[in-house]
Amino acid sequence: MKVAFLSLFFLLPAAFCFSQSVVRGKIIEDSKKTAVFAVNILVKSPLDSTTIAFGFTDESGQFEISVNTELDSVFLTINSMTIQKKNVVLSTNGIPVVIEVTSFSLDLKEVTVEGIKNPITQQNDTISYDISGFSTVNDRVLSDVLTRLPGIEVMSNGMIQYQGRPLVKFYIEGLDLLQGRYNLANNNLPIDAIESVDVLENHQPIRVLDSLVFSDRAALNIKLKRKNTWIGTGHAGVGGRPFLIDGKFSPMVFRADFQALFTVQGNNVGENLEDQQKTLTMDALLDLLNNRAVKEWFTFPGLGMSGLPKDRARFNESFLGSANVLSKNRSGTEFRLNMDYYQENLFQEKNSFTSYFLPDMDTVSFMENTNLENIRRKLSGSLNWNRNTARSYFDNTTSFAVVKNEIDGNVFFNQNPINETSSMPMLRIENKLKLLTPIKNRLFDVRSTVSFEKTRQELNLIPSVVDDNAGQPYDFLVQSIDFQRLFTTNSIGLTFKTRNAITIQSSFGVSALMDKLGSKLSIDSLARDQMLTAERNSANFTNLSTFVKNSVEYKKGGFQVKADIPFYIAHIERNNLTTSESSNFSRIYSEPYLNLRYQISGKFSTSGSFKKTNEFGTGEDFFPNRIVTSYRNIDSNSSRIPESIKSMFNYGLNYKNPVIGLFFDLTASYSKTEDNVIVEFSLANFGGSARSLVDFDNETIRRALSFRGSKYLSNLYTTMTVSSTIQFQGFPQVTNDVLLEYSNRISSTAFEIAIKPKAYIGFDAKTSLNLINSESEQSGIARIRQVSTTLGLDVFPIQNHLFRADFEYVSNEVKDSNSPQSSSFLDFSYRFTPPKSRMDFSVICANILDADIYRSYFSSGFILGVQELPLRPRQFLLKVNFSF
Amino acid sequence: MKTLSVFSFLIILIPHMNLHGQTSNQAFFYSATFTPDSTNVNIKGTDYMVLWTGDNYSVFESYYGYQLDSVQTVTTSKSNNPKDVNLDALIRSVSSMKKPSYKYRIHKSWKDEQITFYQNLFFDNYVYSQPLKMNGWKIENEFKDVLGFKCQKASIAHAGRNFIAWFTEDIPLSDGPYVFNGLPGLIMEVKDIQNHYSFELVGIQNSSIEMSKLVLPKTIALSKNQFFSTKKALYKDVRKALLGKPAGSTSDESIRKVQERYDKSNNPLELVWDK
């Protein structure tokens, strides 16, 4: 101490003489005593704290700083991103000191710059799209921006595809509120409430399966900025000719343990609200395929016509209400309640002239003018209970649907008026259970579905033209049908993965389909003073099957194989309850499926698949006595139990080269269907038909080839696409006791161009040509040529103002006929968004050219016809959109 | 033969650096402006730059360039099946994004005391290195506020220009935009006194990215001197850069236009480089 004091004493004058002095030392971390590299050392004057010199530590923690000062001691500020800032006083005598510092991680406060945040970030399997990086001032709801996210495509029905495949789940803040009915969120969630859209790649929605079954499918999760508060969107519009009204109000709230989304919508402007309720996720779509819905027995002319957007011909009064609530308790169990009510009154008018080309070169032609009102009401709901943890999975859904479907109207059939009324109500109740639990690296699962459907349908015709061999109309006819179906499938299964990357799934199960059909046809003819005659059917049908399913999956490098080898033992029985006759048979069959995929190079890939299916008829296919299905058709089926074996081959070749902006796809498919029954048509010369199934082994061939290629020209901001499809179908049919081979050949070619410079204007055009050729082995029946061209133009000269014009031209003609049908449509819309407002105003003018009718030809097999629909007149709509 | 040996000499591996496992902790965003044509100083170019900083390592690059890269990565490399690539969407998003003006990536390593400079010129990528250390900073007793941080003035003569920098002790990183570093705090703003080149901090984010991936592929390694000579020669006659490209792929007209543009790029940041 004394020495130190003395040396300080002697050195003091020296410091005054030599203004250049040195501070040196070593910085070590206080707990581990290790050297700290790259620490900033600031030398400050003790008088006024100004920085007079600075330096850094080297890898051994040492520092040495020359200081131009006459002071004998200085302040040192020691700081870095990894240590806690420290101030020490140090003498400038050059004697090394050791300074201990504490580890610390400096958290900098973020300063966000608008427009500089990376719009896409990726962490493991999650790709996050920051919505602000993609949305424009014109966007209002989620669906407006989704189409713009790279990798994501939105189909015309609202289905979202990621890299060309449907989503497996759609989550909002991690919870599956809507169970696949995500149009409700897409069309109603305000854009300013959304923080980001996350794509969860390789998403396995069932957490127990996470490590066991690899999923290559993607889910979407919407992250919100505005949580725990009511948000929503809506619009209100009024317009003219006739009085038009369009309104929507959709409030919603999202909390960590509770989510709710409500919507009330109504319009008479032609918009179909049923699309909002559509189920669009992959799982839900697969469920729909297996839900064995019962059919509507009576057919009426609909709005579907080739080349015509349905909204243009839809005269509607529609209403939709939907309530969706999800609650999650502390143990992670979710309860979900979804209730929908939908109602639509449709006014349909359709005129058609149809010719049947008969084998003996005879032609039967007739004219129909229908004028119907269709009233549909549907109340549906489901209650779901789900527990999804890493140790087990439990999911149970109970759902119901009640449908009222009524049709009332008049048909003029070759000028003869017929009054048609029909009612096709339906009831469906279903329960679905899925349970998974791991047992020693293997996964054990139980699945069970039970559904019950019931319908009591009725068709009334006054007077009817049902030909009872006498060709004389009756005074009234009542056809009623009672049908009920009980379906259940139950299985237990095991999933495991072998060491060499093969996943095996096996299951064993039983399923049962039980149908019961009762029908009664009552015809009364006062003219012939005849008593009410009746024809009845009463039958039941059972298909009991036991199955073992095995599925193997293998992946190596660019090569991928998937094979399913399911075996079924089916026992099918049907009983005619009126005659007490019964027939039955048992069948063992397999439905193999094989899929191969190979990546040839970075630019080329190829895939091929084979699938065989075996389908049997149901209780809907056996009714020996007549059933009237429309005012001009009677069905009766007393054939053997229909069996249809279908083999399908598919091949695809894909090429992409992003460097030169070129890609193309080529696909080819072939299928052969072997049936043991055939449809027999009997046509009376006034146009009435009788249809029945008869025993006859036959086959139907389908072939298709399609090509699609695109090229992007970057300096012109232009994308060009060419696509072409050729389809062929060949099938036999018995018409008026003659068996003939018929064929349909359809070829379509389309050219598309889109020019999208960055500012002021956007343009797209598409033109397509369809050729439809129907013929029988005796003669050609029809060659139809359809040309359709659409042009769209967006103009946005000033911010907040958007103009859009759409032009559409459709023409349709039959070869060798000089009556081409053509229609032109022009629509215009303008939208103004006041700056920083949650409202916008728009004017929509639809069908400016006031096209009043749409007419087109149609053809299939031995039928050629022309039909026309009246269109919604020129109409104007003023609309206010808002969000909150 | 001689040319061949020169080339085999030139195309060597990227200098060994501590590249592996370099993850950033922060991202500092700079708005950059530059004056490409000294005869018309009113024409300014701009870019958004980002300085990714990690432990004793940093990368400085154009943020637009980074965005473009990540969009392309997301849409292409996630799957090796061309069918999975939504080309329309990729093209749509890429064409709507801003393009980088600066096509360089500057890696600074404190352990190696070295700056590795990657840059694209025409069709090829080049790399050269230079010492990290910048000697000659003069700290002045002048202060100002940048984004709420108290900053102190410092000046330096570098590459034939005189630069004024503002750094903050509150962010104890001895780093900065471009090659600038060596002050006891992050450089928040740096400009040459003619105001031809400037970098200003506009944003800070805590973001973790893998910095070792931020290199350019298939680089030709040169010395700093060779690089600037090559650059000068290529700018002087852009046809030189087209050598080896298929004949007739570029019209004389377009070459002339490109040359005109490069003739106007006469004001690089480095006026002097052979020091």
In this complex, the residue of B25, B80, B206 whose CB is nearest that of residue A558 is B80
| Peptide bond just before A463 cis, omega within 30 deg | yes
Q: How far is B226 from chain A (nearest CA, A)?
A: 30
Pick from A399, A174, A425: nearest CA to A298: A425
Alpha-carbon distances, residue A289 vs A162, A276, A293 (angstroms): 21, 19, 9
Asked if residue A170 lies in contact with residue A219, where contact means CB atoms within 8 angstroms, the answer is yes
Asked if residue B45 lies in contact with residue B36, where contact means CB atoms within 8 angstroms, the answer is yes
Q: Is the pLDDT of residue B183 over 80?
A: yes
Mean pLDDT on A772-792: 85
Within an 8 Å CB–CB cutoff, is residue B212 touching chain A? no
Q: CA angle at residue A426 from A629 to A616, to 5 degrees?
A: 65
Mean pLDDT of chain A: 84
Q: Is the pLDDT of residue A211 over 70?
A: no
B70-110 confidence digits (pLDDT tens): 665 555 444 444 444 454 555 555 555 555 667 789 999 99
Task: Give the per-residue pLDDT at A16.
Answer: 43
Mean pLDDT of chain B: 76
Task: Give the per-residue pLDDT at A702.
Answer: 95
Q: Is the pLDDT of residue A531 over 90?
A: no
CB contact under 8 A, A42 and B169: yes
Task: Give the per-residue pLDDT at A530.
Answer: 53
Q: Is the pLDDT of residue A511 over 90?
A: yes
CA distance A623 to A636: 6
- Give the count of beta carbons closer than 10 Å to the beta carbon of residue A325: 16
Within an 8 Å CB–CB cutoff, is residue B146 touching chain A? no
Q: Is the pLDDT of residue A704 over 80?
A: yes
Task: Give the per-residue pLDDT at B272.
Answer: 82
Chain B CA closest to residue A667: B83
CA distance B132 to B114: 4
Asked if residue A242 lies in contact with residue A234, where contact means CB atoms within 8 angstroms, the answer is no
- CA quadruple B231, B237, B239, B243: dihedral sign: negative
Chain A CA closest to residue B53: A81
Q: Which chain A residues are within 8 Å of B76, Cβ to Cβ?
A: 658
Lowest mean pLDDT among A105-109, A306-310, A647-651, A689-693: A306-310
Write the Ramachandran bin of B178: left for phi over 0, alpha for psi from -120 to 50, otherwise beta.
left
Return the number of CB contacts < 8 Å for A and B: 165
Q: How far is A373 from chain B (nearest CA, A)?
A: 43
Between positions 241 and 260 of B, the ones with CB within 8 A of A are none
In this complex, the residue of A50, A55, A111 whose CB is nearest that of residue B203 is A111
R_g (Cα) of chain A, nearest Å: 37
Mean pLDDT on A636-651: 92
| Peptide bond just before A242 cis, omega within 30 deg | yes
Collect all residues with Cβ–Cβ distance below 8 Å to A99 and sequence separation of at least 6. Answer: A25, A26, A27, A28, A76, A78, A86, A88
| pLDDT grade for A51, boundaries at 50, 70 and 90 | confident
Within an 8 Å CB–CB cutoff, is residue A555 touching chain B? no
Q: Which chain B residues are within 8 Å of A45, Cβ to Cβ?
A: none
Pick from A864, A861, A865, A862: nearest CA to A729: A861
In this complex, the residue of A82, A108, A712 whose CB is nearest that of residue B91 is A712
Mean pLDDT on A190-219: 80
CA distance B137 to A847: 72
Between positions 107 and 126 of B, the ones with CB within 8 A of A are 110-111
Contacts 24+ apart (CB under 8 A), A10-14: A11/A72, A11/A93, A12/A72
A549-604 confidence digits (pLDDT tens): 998 888 777 788 889 999 999 999 999 988 888 999 999 999 999 999 887 876 68
- Give the count of beta carbons closer than 10 Å to the beta carbon of residue A682: 15
Mean pLDDT on A482-510: 88
CA distance B35 to B269: 9
The sheet with strand A152-154 has its strands ordered as A152-154, A160-162, A165-166
Query: Choosing among A50, A57, A65, A81, which should be mutated to test the B contact, i.e. which has the most B CBs within 10 A?
Result: A81
Q: How far is A101 from chain B (nearest CA, A)?
A: 15
Asked if residue B118 lies in contact with residue B125, where contact means CB atoms within 8 angstroms, the answer is yes
Between positions 78 and 97 of B, the ones with CB within 8 A of A are 78-93, 95-96
Q: How far is A38 from chain B (nearest CA, A)?
A: 7
A735-744 confidence digits (pLDDT tens): 888 888 888 8
CB contact under 8 A, A50 and B74: no
Collect all residues with Cβ–Cβ distance below 8 Å to A399 and sequence separation of at least 6. Answer: A380, A381, A382, A383, A428, A429, A430, A431, A432
How many CA atoms, within 13 angstroms, populate the side-chain half-sphere of residue A355?
A: 11
ipTM beyond 0.90? no
Comparing A626 with B273, the larger pLDDT belongs to A626
Write out the H or E segment, with its range, that includes residue A160.
strand A160-162
pLDDT-above-70 percentage for chain A? 89
Mean pLDDT on A424-450: 90
Alpha helices in A250-316 (DSSP H): 282-289
- Give the count of beta carbons closer than 10 Å to the beta carbon of residue A402: 15
Within an 8 Å CB–CB cutoff, is residue B77 touching chain A? no
CB contact under 8 A, A116 and B141: no
Q: Is the pLDDT of residue B67 over 80?
A: no
pLDDT-above-90 percentage for chain A? 31
Lowest mean pLDDT among A67-81, A195-209, A464-478, A633-647: A464-478
A112-166 confidence digits (pLDDT tens): 665 554 556 666 677 777 777 666 666 788 887 777 676 677 777 788 877 667 8
Write out the H or E segment, with its range, that includes residue A707.
strand A689-713
Q: How far is A35 from chain B (nearest CA, A)?
A: 14
Q: How far is B89 from chain A (nearest CA, A)?
A: 5
Task: Give the per-residue pLDDT at A19.
Answer: 64
Q: Is the pLDDT of residue A760 over 50?
A: yes
B226-264 confidence digits (pLDDT tens): 888 888 877 877 766 665 454 444 556 666 777 777 777
